[in-house]
C-alpha cells in the first residue's frame, strides 16, 4: 500500500501547488521511489472538457482518453509517469456517481448525505491503484476554506485516520507577502490558513511558503511555532526563472528530506539528481534564440496552450537554443496580408482549437509558411487548416472548408474536406457518435496508433513507422482528397491502422511542414523532448542561422 501525501493550498490561489507537487514527485523518484500524482478538483463540472480555455486553461488528455486538468500535464512532465483517467476527479464527477448510484437504488433506501456517501466516494477514488506505487501524491484544487472543497478536506481527514499510523502526511502551500513600506515578510496569512486547516481536523506536517525572496530564520521559527510544524519543515519556495529549476530548488530547501522525515523514513536513500542537473544546464546554457509564432485564438491566456509552450521549451533544450514563442491572434490578418505579422519568425505553429473564429487567419498562416518555406507545425485544427489551404490554393477546391464551421453557422457553405466523424475503430470495437450528442467526452479522445509511410519526413523524425499519440477532436480530414492533394506534393504520411483516417500530412518540397491530427505536445518532457518538437526547433534554428 502506498504512502499518501496530501497537498493543500491556502491564502491565495495560483501559488504553484501543481508545480510543487510535481517537483516533489520528481525528487522522490530521484531517491528511487515510484510515485503517482492525483488531482482532486472542487468545481462542479464533471470534467474540464466543456470549460473554456479562457477560464480554465488547457485540457490535458490522458492515454486512456480522459479530459483532465492541466496540472496532470505538469505531473507527467516532471515524473514521466503517464497520467490515467483515475488520476483526476472533480466534485461534479463525484456527485454524479453518487446520484447515479442513488437512482439505481444502490444505497438501499438510505438518506444520501455528504458524510458518508460523498466522502466515501472520494476515498474510493484515492485508493485506486494504491498497491502499485510507493507514494501517492494527491493535490486538492482551490484553497482551504472554499465551500466546494469541504467534502474533499473531510475525506482526506477521514482517510488519514483509516490508514495505518504514519502512512499519510499533509503538505500545505501558502504565501508570505512582502510589505514594502515596513520591509517585512508577513506570516499572519499563513497562520490563519493553517488555523483554518486545523479547524477541520488537518494538521500540516510540511509548510511550503511562496515568497519573493529568502525567508529569514526568525520568520521560519515564528511559522514553526505558530503553525505547529518543525522548523526544518518550513520550506521556502522562491520565484524561479524556469519551472524546471523547481526540483533542484526544492531539494536545496530540504523539501524531500522534510517529507521523508515526516514519514520517519531513516536513513533516507540518497538522491540522484543528474537528470535535473542536465535539464538545468540545457536551459541556462542555451546558445542563441529562435522565434516561433504561435498563431491561435486563445492567446490572452497562456495556460490555454500550456503543453505547447512547454514542448517548445523542451525542443529548445534538445538543441541548446532558447525558444521565444510569440502569440499572435489569427484574427488580426484575416482580411489582410499576413506577411508584416509573420515575417522575421523562424517557424510558425498553428495549435488546436474549436470553432470558426480566426480560422481564415490560420489558413493564411499555413499558406505563408508553405510559400516562404518557413518551418510549420500544425496541430489538430492546425493540420486541418493546412489541408484546407492546400485544397483551396493547390487543388482548385476554392470552397474547401470544415463541416465544423457549417455546423456552427447552421448552413452549408463549404466542400467538407474536413468532415464530422461519426464512426471509428478503437482497438477492436467501433465507436459511434451523432452530431447532437452531449458535448462532454464525445470526441475521439486518448491514444491511437498511427502507421507512418516509410521514407517520409515524420518516419525519419520519429525513427519509427508506428507511433501512438493522444487525440482530442471531432472532425477529420477526408481521405478521399488524398490523391488530389498528393498529386500536388502533399504527402499523407501517417494514417490510422485501417487506413481510413489521415493522421499526418507533410509537404514534400519544403524544409519542414508537418501537420498532425493528434497532440504531440502532451507527451513531451524536459528530459525527453518530443521528437517532433525537437526537430521542428532544429529546423527553426537552422533557418535562424542562415539569416
Please identify every residue annotated as catalytic. 380, 519, 521
- Report the nearest approach of ligand GLN to the CB of residue 69 (Å): 17
Q: Which three cell numbers stand for residue 385?
A: 487548416
CA distance 353 to 519: 11
Q: Return all residues near 522 (Cβ < 8 A) that are at least 6 apart.
A: 60, 61, 73, 76, 307, 470
- Report the nearest approach of ligand GLN to the CB of residue 418 (Å): 7
CB nearer to ligand GLN: pick between 7 and 516: 516
CA distance 422 to 405: 16
CB nearer to ligand GLN: pick between 222 and 474: 474
Does position 204 bind ligand GLN by CB under 6 A? no
Stretch binding ligand GLN (CB under 6 A), from 24-32, 70-78, 311-319, 468-476: 468-476
CB nearer to ligand GLN: pick between 471 and 538: 471
Site string for ligand GLN, 374-393 (x = CB under 6 A): ------xx------------
DSSP line for 190-239: HHHHHHHHHHTT---SEEEEEESS---HHHHHHHHHHHT--GGGEEEEE-
- Report the nearest approach of ligand GLN to the CB of residue 145 (Å): 36
Element (H, E) at 78: helix 71-79
CA distance 361 to 121: 47
Sheet containing strand 289-296, strands side by side: 322-329, 289-296, 347-350, 376-379, 513-516, 502-507, 490-495, 444-452, 466-473
User: Taking the alpha carbons of 44, 49, 54, 60 in that order, is the dihedral positive or negative?
Assistant: positive
Stretch binding ligand GLN (CB under 6 A), from 9-17, 183-191, 255-263, 469-477: 469-477
* Of positions 354, 405, 481, 533, contacts ligand GLN by CB under 6 A: 354
Residues within window 401-420 making contact with ligand GLN, judged by CB under 6 A: 404
Q: Return all residues near 422 (Cβ < 8 A) that are at least 6 apart.
A: 432, 433, 434, 435
- Report the nearest approach of ligand GLN to the CB of residue 74 (Å): 20
CB nearer to ligand GLN: pick between 276 and 475: 475
Q: Return all residues near 500 (Cβ < 8 A) that are at least 6 apart.
A: 424, 479
Block residue for cell numbers 473531510: 154
Q: Return all residues near 149 (Cβ < 8 A) that are at least 6 apart.
A: 42, 140, 141, 142, 143
- Report the nearest approach of ligand GLN to the CB of residue 309 (Å): 16
Q: Which three cell numbers stand for residue 33?
A: 521511489
- Report the nearest approach of ligand GLN to the CB of residue 356 (Å): 10
CB nearer to ligand GLN: pick between 36 and 472: 472
CA distance 344 to 346: 7
Does position 472 bind ligand GLN by CB under 6 A? yes
Q: Is 523 helix (H, G, I), strand (E, B) or coil?
A: helix
CB nearer to ligand GLN: pick between 198 and 357: 357
- Report the nearest approach of ligand GLN to the CB of residue 381 (Å): 4
Stretch binding ligand GLN (CB under 6 A), from 70-78, 126-134, 285-293, 466-474: 466-474
CA distance 137 to 35: 7
Does position 494 bind ligand GLN by CB under 6 A? no
- Report the nearest approach of ligand GLN to the CB of residue 354 (Å): 4
Q: Which three cell numbers stand for residue 508?
A: 514534400
CB nearer to ligand GLN: pick between 257 and 402: 402
* Of positions 474, 510, 523, 530, contacts ligand GLN by CB under 6 A: 474
Burial of 63 (0-12, 13-18, 19+ CB in 10 A): middle
CB nearer to ligand GLN: pick between 298 and 354: 354
Residues within window 10-49 making contact with ligand GLN, judged by CB under 6 A: none
Q: Which three cell numbers stand for residue 77?
A: 512532465
Stretch binding ligand GLN (CB under 6 A), from 119-127, 242-250, 470-478, 505-513: 470-478
CA distance 152 to 3: 18
Site string for ligand GLN, 334-353 (x = CB under 6 A): ------------------xx
Q: Is 321 helix (H, G, I), strand (E, B) or coil?
A: coil
- Report the nearest approach of ligand GLN to the CB of residue 513 (Å): 18
CB nearer to ligand GLN: pick between 3 and 297: 297
Does position 306 bind ligand GLN by CB under 6 A? no
CB nearer to ligand GLN: pick between 66 and 140: 66
- Report the nearest approach of ligand GLN to the CB of residue 483 (Å): 22
Contact call for residues 78 and 23 (beta carbons, < 8 A): yes
Does position 271 bind ligand GLN by CB under 6 A? no
Closest CA to 54 of 303, 295, 296: 303
Report how many residues bind ligand GLN under the rule CB under 6 A: 10
CA distance 117 to 264: 33
Does position 360 bind ligand GLN by CB under 6 A? no
* Of positions 3, 77, 473, 523, contacts ligand GLN by CB under 6 A: 473
Q: How far is CA 322 from the centre of its chain?
A: 21
Which positions touch ligand GLN (CB under 6 A)?
Answer: 352-354, 380-381, 404, 472-475
Amino acid at each position: 500500500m502506498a504512502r499518501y501525501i496530501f497537498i493543500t493550498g491556502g491564502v491565495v490561489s495560483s501559488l504553484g501547488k501543481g508545480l510543487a507537487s510535481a517537483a516533489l514527485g520528481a525528487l522522490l523518484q530521484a531517491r528511487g521511489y515510484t510515485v503517482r500524482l492525483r488531482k482532486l478538483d472542487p468545481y462542479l463540472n464533471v470534467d474540464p472538457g466543456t470549460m473554456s480555455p479562457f477560464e480554465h486553461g488547457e485540457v490535458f488528455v490522458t492515454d486512456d482518453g480522459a479530459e483532465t486538468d492541466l496540472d496532470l500535464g505538469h505531473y507527467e512532465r516532471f515524473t514521466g509517469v503517464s497520467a490515467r483517467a483515475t488520476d483526476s476527479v472533480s466534485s461534479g464527477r463525484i456527485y454524479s456517481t453518487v446520484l447515479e448510484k442513488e437512482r439505481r437504488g444502490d444505497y438501499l433506501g438510505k438518506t444520501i448525505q455528504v458524510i458518508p456517501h460523498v466522502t466515501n466516494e472520494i476515498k474510493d477514488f484515492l485508493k485506486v491503484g494504491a498497491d502499485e506505487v510507493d507514494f501517492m501524491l494527491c493535490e486538492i484544487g482551490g484553497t482551504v476554506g472554499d465551500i466546494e472543497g469541504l467534502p474533499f478536506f473531510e475525506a482526506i481527514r477521514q482517510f488519514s485516520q483509516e490508514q495505518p499510523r504514519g502512512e499519510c502526511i499533509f503538505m500545505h502551500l501558502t504565501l508570505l507577502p512582502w510589505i514594502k513600506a515596513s520591509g517585512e515578510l508577513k506570516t499572519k496569512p499563513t497562520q490563519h490558513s493553517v488555523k483554518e486547516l486545523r479547524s477541520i481536523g488537518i494538521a500540516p506536517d510540511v509548510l511550503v511558503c511562496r515568497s519573493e525572496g529568502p525567508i529569514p530564520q526568525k520568520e521560519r521559527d515564528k511559522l514553526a511555532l505558530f503553525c505547529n510544524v518543525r522548523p526544518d519543515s518550513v520550506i521556502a519556495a522562491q520565484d524561479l526563472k524556469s519551472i524546471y529549476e523547481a526540483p533542484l530548488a526544492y531539494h536545496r530547501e530540504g523539501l524531500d528530506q522534510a517529507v521523508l522525515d515526516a514519514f520517519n523514513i531513516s536513513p533516507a536513500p540518497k538522491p540522484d539528481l543528474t537528470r535535473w542537473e542536465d535539464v538545468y544546464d540545457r536551459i541556462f546554457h542555451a546558445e542563441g534564440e529562435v522565434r516561433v509564432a504561435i498563431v491561435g485564438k486563445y492567446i490572452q491566456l497562456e495556460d490555454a496552450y500550456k503543453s505547447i509552450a512547454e514542448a517548445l521549451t523542451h525542443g529548445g533544450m534538445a538543441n541548446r537554443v532558447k525558444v521565444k514563442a510569440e502569440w499572435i491572434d489569427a484574427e488580426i490578418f484575416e482580411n489582410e496580408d499576413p506577411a508584416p505579422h509573420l515575417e522575421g519568425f523562424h517557424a510558425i505553429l498553428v495549435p488546436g482549437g474549436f470553432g470558426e473564429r480566426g480560422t481564415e487567419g490560420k489558413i493564411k498562416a499555413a499558406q505563408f509558411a508553405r510559400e516562404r518555406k518557413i518551418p510549420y507545425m500544425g496541430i489538430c485544427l492546425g493540420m486541418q487548416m493546412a489541408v484546407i489551404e492546400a485544397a483551396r490554393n493547390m487543388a482548385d477546391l476554392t470552397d474547401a472548408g470544415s463541416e465544423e464551421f457549417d455546423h456552427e453557422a447552421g448552413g452549408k457553405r463549404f466542400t467538407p474536406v474536413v468532415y464530422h466523424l461519426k464512426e471509428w475503430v478503437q482497438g477492436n470495437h467501433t465507436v459511434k457518435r451523432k452530431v447532437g450528442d452531449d458535448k462532454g467526452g464525445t470526441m475521439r479522445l486518448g491514444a491511437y496508433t498511427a502507421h507512418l509511410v516509410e521514407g517520409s519526413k515524420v518516419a525519419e523524425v520519429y525513427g519509427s513507422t508506428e507511433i501512438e499519440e493522444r487525440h482530442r477532436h471531432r472532425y477529420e480530414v477526408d481521405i478521399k482528397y488524398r490523391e488530389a492533394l498528393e498529386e500536388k506534393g502533399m504527402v499523407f504520411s501517417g494514417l490510422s491502422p485501417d487506413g481510413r483516417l489521415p493522421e499526418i500530412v507533410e509537404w514534400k518540397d519544403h524544409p519542414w511542414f508537418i501537420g498532425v491530427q493528434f497532440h504531440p505536445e502532451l507527451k513531451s518532457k524536459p528530459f525527453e523532448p518530443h521528437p517532433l518538437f525537437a526537430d521542428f526547433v532544429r529546423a527553426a534554428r537552422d533557418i535562424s542561422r542562415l539569416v
